[in-house]
Amino acid sequence: MKTAVTLSLTPQARGGPFVFWDDLDSTFALIGELGFQAVELFLPGPGDYRGLATRIAAHGLAVAAVGTGAGWILQGLTLTHPDGAKRIQARDFIRRTIDMAGSWKAPVIIGSMQGRRDPAGSRESSLDFLGEALQALGRHAAEQGQILLYEPLNRYETDLFNRQVEAAVWLKTSGAKNVRLLSDLFHMNIEEPDLAAALREAGSMVGHVHFADSNRRAMGSGHTDAAAAVAALREMGYDGYYSAEILPLPDSASAARQTIARLRQLLAPASLATAPLGTLVSSGEV
Ligand code: LER
Ligand code: MN
């Protein structure tokens, strides 16, 4: 089981689904004490974060992945932007993020930076832009020894790909190599009729998982059948991260604690997997 929790250092993303919002030593100490192996970073952009990387490593943590959505939030960039100059800037932003993340042995995520269909154009032309960008960026990630993660989002955030298998089939035919899916259980809850079936069908294309309940809170707060999703991932031999990209509710520490408890429960022997979570937390079983 590889576990991670999100940390945003992008104040403009406040209100977004990130558990921790500061890079204090006490934050990394708590993440380590809870038993997470890694942090997933949401940074304002590529830059010199050597101090941050050193502190993360000093606490025995790895970097699970690096998000690029700040390129959209702060600069309005997307890989499918109708303005060609913005598309070039978006690619450059991601390319430099890949270089930075590569030094941390982490893959980069393309989520919001995929953009949406140009209302004045066709979905096909937007997909052509996306496909060309993923080909180039997938090659660039390979040079860093990393995969590139492409994340289908729910219909309110993109109209390019909302579902796992559709995205997987398109990726395989688009010519993009070295690109795997980021399967976010929150988006999947909105779009997939059956989460476990979608994960199974996407199979080895699944490269990273955002472990979030239906209401984007810590698993166990909503109505997602996490047991079925995790069972499917285990059967498939999924060996990537379960990363909590969730709202920091009721507070960051509680959201992180509930996530790790639920993961331990789901990956525990069958006798514990069906017990009520509260009992296990209070009895110290998880
Ligand atoms: C990014 O991982 C994501 O899931 C998007 O919805 C941005 O919030
Ligand atoms: Mn996500």
Name the burial class of residue 33, with classes exposed (0-12), middle (13-18) and buried (19+) by CB atoms within 10 angstroms of its CB. Answer: exposed
Domain boundaries, the chain: 2-283
What does the H/E/C string look like for 175-194? CCCCEEEEEEHHHHHHHCCC
Three-class DSSP category at 52: helix
Residue nearest (by alpha carbon) to ligand 1 atom 6: 153
Is 70 exceeded by the pLDDT of residue 20? yes
- Distance in angstroms (rounded) separating the CA atoms of residues 192 and 155: 11
φ/ψ of 63, rounded to 5, equals -100, 120
**Helix ranges restricted to H, 16-160:** 25-34, 50-58, 70-75, 84-102, 123-143
pLDDT tens-digit readout, 206-264: 999 999 999 999 999 999 999 999 999 999 999 999 999 999 999 999 999 999 999 99
- Distance in angstroms (rounded) separating the CA atoms of residues 216 and 140: 32
Averaged pLDDT score across all residues of the chain = 94
Tokens of 248: 């920091």
Ligand 1 centre and the CA of 109: distance in Å?
Answer: 9
Grade residue 277 by pLDDT with cuts at 50, 70 and 90: low
Ligand 2 centre and the CA of 151: distance in Å?
Answer: 7
Is 50 exceeded by the pLDDT of residue 284? no
Q: Which atom of ligand 1 is nearest to the CA of 245?
A: 2
pLDDT tens-digit readout, 101-110: 999 999 999 9
Q: Is the pTM of this model over 0.85?
A: yes
Is 60 exceeded by the pLDDT of residue 190? yes
pLDDT tens-digit readout, 136-149: 999 999 999 999 99
Residues with CB under 5 A from ligand 2 (ion): 184, 210, 245
Give the active site residues: 151, 245
CATH architecture group of domain 2-283: Alpha-Beta Barrel (3.20)
Grade residue 275 by pLDDT with cuts at 50, 70 and 90: low
